[in-house]
Structure 1
């Protein structure tokens, strides 16, 4: 049994701990490690698999870099719990909600596990996940530095309380962001990923990422943000503009990818290698 689980970009600027976007950058996992390299017991997917009662080795292959703000941990936990459920006689589609809940609880926040489990753009809040339709014609340009960021350390920079005006600011930006993406009014995305809850505290720690966000905007990106806790920068662009935006970003100590939005989420892999 093989499955594939997509990477994700969380927060999308103002949607702290609630919004997530699935990216076409997969982690492939296999019960038994028959065709994929066996992962050791420290891998977060194996730990989730064991926590879910799974037995035996797991094979894992992925291009998702850990510690970069692309949901490596959430992706792995969704995959590990999914294979534990399957091994116990469950089904990915029937038990998707339970798999997500297990992964989100172990993560401590739902914003990465939700898009990895369900695909697309997700809102996770109040114990629920809603998948939000996104108009076609978009790509995500990700600028991925070589250095890692600790999510725990990054969260430690955030204040326990924020001014009421900052909370109101973010509520408005989240509403604008979702309305723009669902309606296809992409011109309204300008400013929609502005944030006052976490990026002002995190970006000073990664000034090169703040610079990449500015470069992406100047090159024609519709919106750009610190992906998760960073240090990766993610930018939404029109499909035709993706190569030009990607070409403007610096590649010293970093690399750039142009990714589609993954719409499948957690999926079984057929014999031909494609998701079912």
Structure 2
């Protein structure tokens, strides 16, 4: 016969349950204590400040030198003023550097150079070309004797600028023309650059008796008749003692005035027709 009487809870289970719950709580606490601390949030570095732009540096000024055309134009104004009996206008070239290129050999080699200041000669036996540039001595020129030269000037040398009506550096163009009935003489030099040597200056700077010379081999495909070269003179327009860059003088009102620049030359060179330096001398 079944027993329908209600039973009391198992006393043993009642005793164990609190212990189990306590142990579970202790385990949870231990897990929480042993869990590593969460990593701190990554520190966000501020973006680096843009480097300041370097200050703008101005490009060095381009060194320019007066050319043959500049010297001719300035001297024309001085010659015109001299012929008119007026004071020469101030020259913008005083104290400026110049690079004067004088083409030579335009008519071929010069077996007998005569008064030529720059020329070349051929030696067919050795197939060599001899380049020569010889400054003229102008100490006794009327223009030099009457000009306000620098103090203690003992000697004056220089180079004429051939064909001062031609402003380009190259040789003039040759033209075939019928000979006139009465040929006229070639025009005398009328424009040059003068170097004034003081009594105390080194005589090694004087080149009147020591021309600039250089020998090169004749190109294999050339007979030496169609060559041309350039005499390069570099320096500064120093001016006369009255601070004039150029002075002029004339024999009469019907003669073209002769004008000279007072200069200092610090480099002389020979170049070929393409501008390649063949030889040079610092002075």
TM beyond 0.5? no
TM superposition score normalised by structure 1: 0.24
Is the strand fraction higher in 1 or 2? 2
Q: Looking at both structures, which has the greater relative contact order when contacts are Cα pairs under 8 Å and sequence separation is at least 6?
A: 1
Query: Greater CA radius of gyration, 1 or 2?
Result: 2
TM superposition score normalised by structure 2: 0.23
Is the helix fraction higher in 1 or 2? 1
